[in-house]
Amino acid sequence: MFNNAGIMHPMDDNALNTEERIWDLTMDINVKGVWYGCKHAIIAMRKSGGGSIINTASFVALMGAATPQLAYTASKGAVLAMTRELAMVHARENIRFNSLCPGPIRTPLLMDFLNTEEKKQRRLVHVPQGRFGEAIEQAYGALFLASDESSFVTGVDFRVDGGLASAYVTPEGSKFTRLPEAFLEYLDADGIFLPDEGQPQAATIEEIDSDNESTTFSDEEPTEKPEFPEIESMIRQAVEEFDGGVFPKLNWSSPRDAAWITPTQSLMCTTPFDVYLLLKSSDFINHDLHHAFDDCDDKDNTADSTPFHLVLRKWYDLQPSMEFRCFIKANELIGICQRDPNFYQFLVGIKDELEDKIHDFYEDHVKDKFGSDNFVLDVYIPRDRRKVWIVDFNPFSPTTDSLLYTWEELAKFDVQTDEPEFRIYESQAEADAFSRNAPKFAANMLPKDVIDLSDGRSIAEFAEELQRAMASSALGSSDDEQDESS
């Protein structure tokens, strides 16, 4: 018997505001209805030699909430108490009673109540698993309590709540929101508009003349400035909940190539201004918007059906020296290397320990648990070296930087015969030779025309070619002026 009927009336409030008729209606359905169900089930089960009765309560009966729904909470508390007593009274008759205590479930009723992304995220911050439960997951809980597999279970408050009722604090997860088409168009548009007091403003360049007067140069501002109040509110809320700093990314990429443009030279964001600036300045983000599915077989269908999301995670100051990239082929770890292109002397002495720790972590926690047999895994090990943390997953393809490997040797690696390696820079000279002393993402700091013009030549050759190109351009402009004057 599954007593699963109940209401939460929209006029249910606190002790002062809840009307008596709302209280009585809630108790009649949620408590008296369960009592009637149990009463008649007991009569039938005595004749059949026993059975299982499941009464739906709620996690709110186990913990307090600052959002008042007093009649509902009291009624579910009554269901818990009634179920426990019935379990004791009828235990020797082989009639079992248990309460099912669901957490927040993705039902039409709850989704209508949590009708904005901000409201949903406000609720999910309390759920350790970081998501709403599904109705089928409650059904599986009820099925277990109804089956012989739970034959020695009675008088239990059976929680299916994603860990909510056990949480003191929840893990720092992430905030995310689906980006509307208007925001994607904003990211794709020319010019930079950044939020100022909640409203994006046009960026301008000021030139100070000899009379200390400023002349402002800017494109003509649009008649309607883009506004995204829900996104900006979500960013501010995430910054507050994540102790003052967040790390932004879209579905696949973070704007790492644009970190140079921020005052901190990092991806730490403390305001919507920071997030907008990074997203607008990043070629990685632009690539995701237009070319994320270029290598997919069904790229046309996939691109049209995949929504874009802004994801914000808590900012951590990681030590670049302890970030490592792992290459997995046919579900086997075939190579590890450091991610940061610098030489760290201390890594040489602990290399074997790090390799064992990363290998054990992969075997125990990742292998056969990821949705692909070929992928690239980025991990981080704190300086105390007690744990390994997952940073990101990447595709096993040339679109992912192979760092100290080449994709040719990774593709040829035979998991049956070849031995995996752990590669680090063994000297500063090796690191300098590998990186050629170029700053990370240097190409993204220059106009694309300049990069195309360089064509991989030396600095001297490139400078000479650039000078010729500029002279040619100046000569062309002069010829145009003569044509116009004639």
Q: Which residues are catalytic?
A: 72
CA distances from residue 238 to 92, 269, 320 in whole angstroms, order as listed: 53, 10, 24
Instruction: Give the CA angle between residues 401, 456, 477 to the nearest 5°.
Output: 125
Structure tokens given for 460? 């001297």
Q: 């002393």: which residue's tokens?
A: 437
Question: Long-range CB contacts (< 8 A, 24+ apart) of 117-125?
Answer: 117/177, 117/178, 117/230, 117/234, 118/230, 118/233, 118/234, 118/237, 121/175, 121/177, 121/234, 121/237, 122/237, 125/170, 125/241
Report the number of secondary-structure helices (H) and strands (E) in the chain: 16, 16
What whole-number distance in Å separates Cα of residue 374 and Cα of residue 369? 12
Rounded to whole angstroms, the Cα distance separating 413 from 406 reads 11
Cβ proximity of 363 and 380 under 8 Å: no
Neighbours of 77 (CB within 10 A): 16
Three-state secondary structure call for residue 310: strand
| Phi, psi for residue 214 in degrees, rounded to 5 | -100, 135
Q: Are 268 and 223 a contacting pair, CB within 8 Å?
A: no
Can you tell me which residue has the tokens 């981080």?
380
Task: Give the orientation angle of helix 229-241 with respect to helix 117-124, to 10 degrees.
Answer: 20
Q: How many CB atoms lie within 10 A of CB 272?
A: 21
Q: CA separation (Å) from 290 to 133, 184, 294, 301? A: 34, 11, 9, 14
